[in-house]
Structures are given as C-alpha cells and as structure tokens.
Structure 1
Amino acid sequence: MLKKQMEQYIEDQMHDNNIELFQFEQDYAEKHQLLSSQVIAVEKSFHFQIIERCNKESEAVIQAENHDFLTGPVSFLKSHQEDFIYVEANDFGLVGVDAIALEFDDVFETYTALFGLRLQKKCGAAIKAYLDTHLQGDGAKYSVMFSGEDGLWDMNFALDFVEGFHESQSFEEVYELIYRFVFNLVEAVEEAQ
C-alpha cells in the first residue's frame, strides 16, 4: 500500500524535477528506487486544509484556527483540557489517514493522538506489534480497534511514549512526529505482509 501510494504521490507532486518530501519519505523513496537521479527533493511542510479547536464533550467547533496557531506549543492542550485540536491535511492520505485529533487526556495525563487508519483488518497483529515495540517506557498507552462499518482502524496512542516527543514542541512539530510515526508503522506493516 505505502509503496503504491508513494509512487502516486511522487507522480502527482513532481514539478520540474522538484518534489517536497520529508527526509524519512525521501529515504523510503530512495530505498525503493522511486526517485530518478534528476529529482531534487526539497524540505516538505504540511498544508492543512482544516484546523479547528473543538470542545471534547460536545465535539462542537470552538474556533477555526489559522496556520499561525500551529506554531504554538502543544502544551496549550494541558491548560485547555476541555479542548481538542482537529486537523485535516491531504498529505496524511499518503499513510491512509484523513485527519488527526490531538488532546490532553486528563485521566492519564498524557497527550493523545486519535485518528482512523486505512489498513486491512488482517493487519491488526502487525499494527499492535509495532506499537508494542515502538512506544517507549513503562505503561505506554494505546488503543486500536477495527471498525468494519468504515473499514478503518480507530487508533489512539499517548504521544508521551513516542521517541522525540516533548510538550514544548509546536503543534506543527508534533503533527510531523505523528505522521513520521504512522509512516514508519505502515512501512513495517507492509513489510510484515
């Protein structure tokens, strides 16, 4: 799945032999020989279509935010525990995700990422194995459940257990961290099949 998606992404995004890629995407593309030697990869940044601050209980939108909001620290959620941040970015589609919600879980006192992951039901064991291996520390929290209704894995995991996470990071940095984590998860699941 990831290899096909990456091939399509490169084809769609190529402009005059230039393409925006995160370093880990470029590494993947080179590993699978998806880039010609004439291609120049430039550092990618997300282009968010929707950025909303929402109420956890009602899921009502409190305010639509602009990109500047995402330059602020994710610790905003700790001081606004009744809120969650919902974003959509076309770039997430590469790994089978449409949108990601971030919240601070006041029960476990962790920052949590929530999203649907478009992978087949048979991938459940590989997904859980990846999470068991790559979430660092005692008491690493996650939940994965397949929804036959929409054909997605409903996922959430505590960012506090992801290598490189710190609450002083900006939302933008955290979304990149989540995306890289999910990219690596999808790559590992693909290789396990």
Structure 2
Amino acid sequence: MSLQNRLQDLLKEGQALTDFEYAEAARQNWPLEGAKMKEEARFADSYIERVDKESEEMIQTEAVSFLNTPLTYVKKQPNEFIYIESKWFDVVKVDGLAIEWDEVFQTYTALFGLKRPKKDTGLLKEMLSELNGAQLQFNGQDGLFDINIPLLELENIQEDTPIIDAISAVYRYLFHLILQLENE
C-alpha cells in the first residue's frame, strides 16, 4: 500500500494529519483533506520503554511526558536505550524505534527495522549516504532493513533537543525516504 493510501486510510478512520503531511501531500498533488493536529501531538500515543543495552531487558516503561527529556539522557545513561512504538510509525513502514548513545562512534543514534523489499538495497544505500555514519543491512530472517542513523545529522537536531523532536525528525526523514522510494 502506498504512502498516499496509508494517509487516506488514516483520514477515513477519523485520524488527523500534521501540517508537514498535508504540505508533502500537496507537493505530490494528493487530494487529502481532513482534520489537522500539531506535530508535537503526533506521538502522544507512544509506548515507551527504557531498556538495558546488555540484557535487552526492560528497565521501566515511561509516560509520554518522558519524551520531553533531552537527548543527553541516553548519553548520561550509556547502559540504556529508549524504545518507542507508535501507530504512526506504520505510515513510514517501521514498527518501533530505539534511541541510544553509540559509545564507539560517540553519537546519538536511531535504530529501526524498515519494511522494504531487498531489491531496494541500492536505492536505500544511495539515499542514506547523505547522512554521515548511517548504516544499512538487510536482515533476511525478518525481511527488514536494519537501519542505524546518527540523529545529529538530521535537520535541527542538537544534543539538548527533546527526544520527541528527534522522533519527529526521524519520522519526517523516513516519510521523505519512503516517498522517494515510491517515486523511483
């Protein structure tokens, strides 16, 4: 199902889209109309866990207000990563997102599995090459691309950026990525 159809289905279900999504739809000449929501409200339904990196055991679930915490949290807690699920990730073909401090590369990263066919490998490598340090690997077992992107490479993301803004930036990046893949 195309990105346009996924957005249309959400509108039919009575969901609201953000100004970003409506602007992108207008650029593609997609006739989408419906309710609007503020981008910061987009992930209010998120399920959030703090997870131990080594054992991958959940430390604690967190309220959505935790997403207002700055990215530096994961740097200060190097043994943890934050795992986030949201129904909105389905729009960009991702189940969940992990945010962590990568001690090897000394950077904040977002890790996720992207549902795309293996034949997209070349295109994805080319698109991700614009992000210095991005990693891509096809996982044949899950049929997903395991992708790791450095958050500070995304537009307007700094160390003190709230986690919610980093999630929104990843969503916008993936939205453009999916759009580009569908237009190829």
TM-score, with length taken from structure 1: 0.87
- Superimposed CA distance per residue, residues 60-84 of structure 1 (whole angstroms, 9 cap, x where no aligned partner): 1111111111111111111111110
Equivalences for residues 18-29 of structure 1 within 5 A: 20-29=16-25
Matching residue's letter, 1:2: L
**Which of 20, 23, 37 is residue 42 of structure 1 equivalent to?**
37
Q: Give 1:160's aligned residue.
A: 152
1:40 Cα deviation from its structure 2 partner: 4.4
Q: Is the 8 A contact 1:145 1:153 kept in 2?
A: yes
Pair 1:4 & 2:5 matched: yes
1:150 Cα deviation from its structure 2 partner: 1.8
Q: Give 1:13's aligned residue.
A: 14
Q: Give 2:178's aligned residue.
A: 186
Q: Distance in 1 between matches of 2:7 and 2:83?
A: 25
SS in 2 for 1:48: coil
Q: Is the 8 A contact 1:6 1:29 kept in 2?
A: no
Q: Give 1:148's aligned residue.
A: 140
Q: Give 1:17's aligned residue.
A: none
Q: Is the 8 A contact 1:50 1:88 kept in 2?
A: yes
- Superimposed CA distance per residue, residues 165-186 of structure 1 (whole angstroms, 9 cap, x where no aligned partner): 1111111111111111111111
- Superimposed CA distance per residue, residues 108-167 of structure 1 (whole angstroms, 9 cap, x where no aligned partner): 11001000111111111111111113x2xxxx1121111222221111111122221111
1:59 Cα deviation from its structure 2 partner: 0.6
Q: Give 2:87's aligned residue.
A: 90
- Percent identity reads 34
**Number of matched residues?**
180
Matching residue's letter, 2:115: R
The gaps in structure 2 that reach 5 residues or longer are: none
Q: Give 2:169's aligned residue.
A: 177
Q: Is the 8 A contact 1:53 1:63 kept in 2?
A: yes
Q: Distance in 2 between matches of 1:124 and 1:13?
A: 35
Alpha-carbon RMSD across the aligned residues, in angstroms, is 1.5
Q: Distance in 2 between matches of 1:109 and 1:22?
A: 33
Q: Distance in 2 between matches of 1:167 and 1:9?
A: 33
1:42 Cα deviation from its structure 2 partner: 3.1
> Deviating runs (4+, > 4 A) in structure 1?
none
Q: Give 2:126's aligned residue.
A: 129
SS in 2 for 1:114: strand
Matching residue's letter, 1:41: K
Q: Distance in 1 between matches of 2:117 and 2:101?
A: 29
